[in-house]
Amino acid sequence: MATTTESPAKKMSKFGVQTEKGKVIHAWRNADKYQVEGVRIVIHSTKYKTYDQLKVELSQKVGLYTGAVQRVYSTQKKLIKGLEDFEDNQNYICCGAEKLSEDIYPKGLIGIFVVKSEQAHPSISTAKSVSSEPSSGDHSTSTTSTTSSSTPESSTTPTLSSMGAQPGQSLSRRTPSPGSKKPVVSSYKDGVPKKFAIGTDKAKVILAFRNGDKVHSGEKITIHSTKYRTYDQLKEHLSKQVGLVTGPVRKVYSFDGKQVKALEDFVDGQNYICCGGEPVHLETTYNVPAPAAAAVPASHEDGVY
């Protein structure tokens, strides 16, 4: 009888183009202690060709308060330099131009973010600070060591007093507990918090009148560098608000006949005349509103209390 040989089974190949699996990461804002949940980002070679494309996506979704995302760190404070440095199902902290905050980190990363060794073991740092305190002199150190060998109770009092504790006060009261938190002002220099707002110059409030109009009571205009970048922008706004009959505002004069040529020439609280192509009418008596009189408090002599 002829023997039949069985051919080995062919390995089945999957249909379609096979690509690598994407990496799922969670992005967090730097120094945002109120963020509870990270932003989920899927990194794949077909979606992000370069690292800069991923940074643009992180800038839009994470929303840093300091601007665009410039650097990304892992929870071990390792700087990410390329797409291949990301790991699947890991957390990453996005930073702008500022440094990575090691004291303040998102609330959702408590127990995950690697803090300083001194914060993780405050008892060790306290013991180092106690042991590193310099003594008053070599003679006093030798005397204290000799006395401590003979009378251990006498050596306890100078050690506590050198640390600022009263006699009879235990050292454990001055040692911070492992769960203690730093005060909020510790993140500021010299213990004084600084303002986060950007200081700007004060706005100028003026009254703009129509040239030669006795009835017009003036238009209140607020001039600020963030609102009007150029003098032409202010003239365009004056043309809409004042409403000259002769056309748009071309020139502005003060009541003493001085022409205003730039935004810096305006004075806060002053009145100005807006002109088109016609000459300015300084002889006109303009309807300037009278300043509000201050309220006079009632006296007890009038019987009003």
Determine contact, residues 273/253, Cβ cutoff 8 Å. yes
Split into its structural domains, the chain has a count of: 2
Q: pLDDT (tens digit, 0 to 9) for every residue of the chain, 305 residues total?
A: 455 566 666 666 666 666 788 999 999 999 888 888 999 999 998 899 999 999 999 999 998 988 899 999 999 999 999 999 999 999 999 999 899 988 887 888 887 776 654 444 444 444 444 444 444 444 444 444 444 444 444 444 445 445 445 555 544 445 555 555 555 444 444 554 555 555 567 889 999 999 999 899 899 999 998 888 899 999 999 999 999 988 999 999 999 999 999 999 999 999 999 999 899 999 988 988 887 655 555 555 555 54
In a domain, 126, yes or no: no
- Beta pairing, strands 71-74 & 39-43: unpaired
Domain that holds residue 213: 204-275
Instruction: Tell me what pLDDT residue 290 has.
Output: 81
Q: Which of 60, 90, 109 is a domain's end point?
A: 109
Determine contact, residues 218/286, Cβ cutoff 8 Å. yes
Query: What is the strand order of the sheet 90-95 is part of?
Result: 39-43, 23-29, 90-95, 71-74
In a domain, 133, yes or no: no
Q: Which of 77, 109, 141 is a domain's end point?
A: 109
Can you give the CATH number for the domain in which 223 is found?
A: 3.10.20.230
CB hemisphere CA count around 5 (13 angstroms)? 2
In a domain, 282, yes or no: no
Determine contact, residues 235/259, Cβ cutoff 8 Å. no
| 248 vs 239: CA distance, rounded Å | 5
For residue 42, give the H/E element and its range. Answer: strand 39-43
In a domain, 4, yes or no: no
Kindly report the pTM of this predicted structure. Answer: 0.36
